Each structure stands twice: as structure tokens, then as C-alpha cells.
Amino acid sequence: MTFIRVETLSRRYGNIAAVDGISLDFPTGSFTALLGPSGCGKTTLLRLIAGFEAPAEGQILFDGKLMADPERQVAPESRGVGVVFQSYALWPHMDVAGNVAYPLKTRRTASTEIATRVGDVLEIVGLAGFQARRIEELSGGQRQRVALARCLVADQKIILFDEPLANLDMHLRASMVDAFRDIHRRTGATIVYVTHDQAEALALADRVAVMSKGKLLQVAPPQEVYRAPADATVAGFVGRGGLIAGSVKEAAGGTAMVEAAGHRFKARSGGKATGPAKILLRPEALRLASEGFAARVVDAVYRGPVYEVRLALATDEELVLDSIHAPAVGELVHVACSDAWVIPTA
């Protein structure tokens, strides 16, 4: 069972709607990131899919079969789902092999087969030969790899990850991102990956579902979420950039003529509406030039290999761009713009 359908799903805690009427399909073999700020309901949605929570409204289907509605819930262990949490949830008194083999032991798999499969998954997660190591001897990254191996050994067709990299340092996170991509390629499992880290979501998933306050704001491939955010919240949460108030003069066929910050320029647009709008300007579409928006340099921070330059327009709205050279703080500059996006809804 691999196709997950979530229909008008809700879960409340007291008067907080942790998940508030979400409908979303997770096609077989897809890799979906649930992205949103802390408290927006990502974990609750994941726990509902896994079966650790029951819905107040709506239903969850796997391949058309009912897993949960307010009256009936299939037990988590009967859903065929693998779950990896932020806290590794390993047994400290067992060695690596013991932890990884656990799901197979509960299924009474033959011990020779267990040894082979444990060896195989340890290799996949980059821990070949670690069978006899004690959990206490392992670093955080290694522990998370053990948790990953334990999930993989069960060979489930649905794998749920809840911020599996949240406790790791930046360097380790990057290498784990590669491990997750590899696992998706090898297993073809339907993966739902919860994170509040937009870089992780964009790098990993073939689809990003952006959540806020228990609701879905946008579900789209990473490139689209970045280039064409559905609203100002998504634009602010994914990537850097400046949102400025403007006015759409004409719009047709995906392109609009807009006026903002005293200039008239072309922007991409999802609709035909004219009138007031917010315009998104991403850093890579902006550069310091001899003409364009007039702006004052607020600061320039070296991020390596470029300076992140923050600029204030006459309207006090902010822009951000990357520059090899650092302009002086307070300097008046001009900014040329090669791409912009009209935010569809305010």
C-alpha cells in the first residue's frame, strides 16, 4: 500500500486546530516535504498518517483502503508504515545490530536472513561494519543513521520522517540529505518528510507542501514554491527576497506589467487581475547597476563568496541582493531587476 490520500482531515487539541481541514494526496513513490514554522501542525499530520493520533474529522486512505476516520482507526503496526523521529528512539542497552534487527525479530525472521539484511541496510546508511558498536559510543549523526537503518530494514512502502536532521550539525545534515535521496531512489517508497528547514525541503523533495496554522498554503514542486509562491506567507517562509507594494497595469499569458517603487517593469504573474499587488523580488534577480530602483544600503554582510546586501527603498521597503563587492552602508545605489513575481493573493 503506497498511495496516501488525506481528506478534509482535522485534529484539535482543546481549542487549537493543529490540523485544520487538510486534503492532500501523496502519490506512490512521491517524496513530499511538509514545510512550515514550528507549531503549524506538521507533526500532528504525520502522526495522524502513522496512526498515533485519531482524526476529529475527515479520513485517511492508503490505496483506497480506510486507515482512519473519527470512528475507526487501523492500528499503527498494521499500516505498513516506517517512521523516523527527531529523537532517535534507540535502545541504549542494545548494540547497533540489535537495534536495527528489532523489526525483523518481532516478525520472527530467520537469524541468517536478519544478519544479511542488517548488513545491507547498515551499508546503505554508511555504517558498514558497525553491528557490534554500542549506541552510547555513537555520535548524533551515527545514531540517526541507525534509526534510519532500523526503519529501512522493515522494508515498508511508506516512510514518514519527522525532522530527522534537527539535532545534527550543518555538515552532517548535508551528508544525510544525500543519504535520504539515495534511500528514496533505492526503495521507491512513498516518503513524507517533515521539516521547518526550507533548504532541506527544497533539496530533498519532489513536492513541497507549505503549512501554516494547521492549513495547507501551497503544494508544488520546489522550483515552483520558490519562483511562484502562492501568497506572502509562503514567499516569506521559502527563500530570501523583498516584497514590495505595487500595481498591476496589464496581465496576460503569465506576464504582467507592474508599477512599483516608481518604476514600470515586467513580472511573471499567475492570473489576469489588475490593481494593487505585492511584488516579490528574489536576490538573484537583482544587481547593483547604473540605473533602476533607487535604494540606500542598510548593511552588507559577507556570507562567502558574496556579500548579502540589504537595501531600503524610498518607501522604506527592503530589498536584498548578493554582490561580490560590498557597497558602503548609507550609500545611494541603483538596482536593476531581471525577474519578479506578482503574489496571487494578499
Ligand X SMILES: Nc1ncnc2c1ncn2[C@@H]1O[C@H](COP(=O)(O)OP(=O)(O)O)[C@@H](O)[C@H]1O
Binding status of residue 156 toward Mg ion by CB under 5 A: no
- In the list Mg ion, ligand X, none, the entry touching 310 (Cβ below 5 to 8 angstroms by class) is none
- In the list ligand X, Mg ion, none, the entry touching 195 (Cβ below 5 to 8 angstroms by class) is none
Minimum distance from residue 38 beta carbon to Mg ion (Å): 7
Minimum distance from residue 346 beta carbon to ligand X (Å): 24
For the stretch 65-68, contacts whose Cβ atoms lie closer than 8 Å and that sit 24 or more positions apart, written own/partner, are 65/1
Minimum distance from residue 308 beta carbon to ligand X (Å): 28
Q: Which is nearer to ligand X, 47 or 278 (CB)?
A: 47
Q: Which is nearer to ligand X, 39 or 119 (CB)?
A: 39
By beta-carbon distance, which residue lies closest to Mg ion?
43
Query: In angstroms, rounded to a whole number, what is the distance separating the alpha carbons of residues 1 and 23?
Result: 19
| Radius of gyration for the alpha carbons in the chain, expressed in angstroms and rounded | 24
- In the list Mg ion, ligand X, none, the entry touching 13 (Cβ below 5 to 8 angstroms by class) is ligand X
Q: Which is nearer to ligand X, 166 or 220 (CB)?
A: 166
Minimum distance from residue 42 beta carbon to ligand X (Å): 4
Could you tell me if 41 and 53 are in contact, meaning their C-beta atoms sit under 8 angstroms apart? Answer: no
Could you tell me if 218 and 341 are in contact, meaning their C-beta atoms sit under 8 angstroms apart? Answer: no
- In the list ligand X, Mg ion, none, the entry touching 44 (Cβ below 5 to 8 angstroms by class) is ligand X
Binding site for ligand X (CB under 6 A): 13, 16, 18, 36, 38-44
Minimum distance from residue 42 beta carbon to Mg ion (Å): 5
Minimum distance from residue 24 beta carbon to ligand X (Å): 15
Minimum distance from residue 133 beta carbon to ligand X (Å): 31
Q: Which is nearer to Mg ion, 205 or 267 (CB)?
A: 205
Q: Which is nearer to ligand X, 36 or 141 (CB)?
A: 36
Q: Which of 206, 148, 187 is nearest to 2 (CA)?
A: 187
Interaction residues for Mg ion, span 26-45 (CB under 5 A): 43
Q: Which is nearer to ligand X, 41 or 283 (CB)?
A: 41
- In the list Mg ion, ligand X, none, the entry touching 15 (Cβ below 5 to 8 angstroms by class) is none
Tell me how many residues contact Mg ion (CB under 5 A). 1
Q: Which is nearer to ligand X, 190 or 212 (CB)?
A: 212
Interaction residues for Mg ion, span 187-226 (CB under 5 A): none
- In the list ligand X, Mg ion, none, the entry touching 40 (Cβ below 5 to 8 angstroms by class) is ligand X
Q: Which is nearer to ligand X, 5 or 42 (CB)?
A: 42
Give me the amino acid identity at 70.
P
Per-residue HEC secondary structure of the chain comes to CCCEEEEEEEEEECCEEEEEEEEEEECCCCEEEEECCCCCCHHHHHHHHHCCCCCCEEEEEECCEEEECCCCECCHHHCCEEEECCCCCCCCCCEHHHHHHHHHHHCCCCHHHHHHHHHHHHHHCCCCCCCCCEHHHCCHHHHHHHHHHHHHHCCCCEEEEECCCCCCCHHHHHHHHHHHHHHHHHHCCEEEEEECCHHHHHHHCCEEEEEECCEEEEEECHHHHHHCCCEHHHHHHCCCCEEEEEEEEEEECCEEEEEECCEEEEEEECCCCCEEEEEEECHHHEEEECCCEEEEEEEEEECCCCEEEEEEECCCCEEEEEECCCCCCCCEEEEEECCCEECCEC
Q: Which is nearer to ligand X, 44 or 142 (CB)?
A: 44
Minimum distance from residue 43 beta carbon to ligand X (Å): 3
Minimum distance from residue 230 beta carbon to ligand X (Å): 19
Q: Site residues (CB under 5 A) for Mg ion?
A: 43
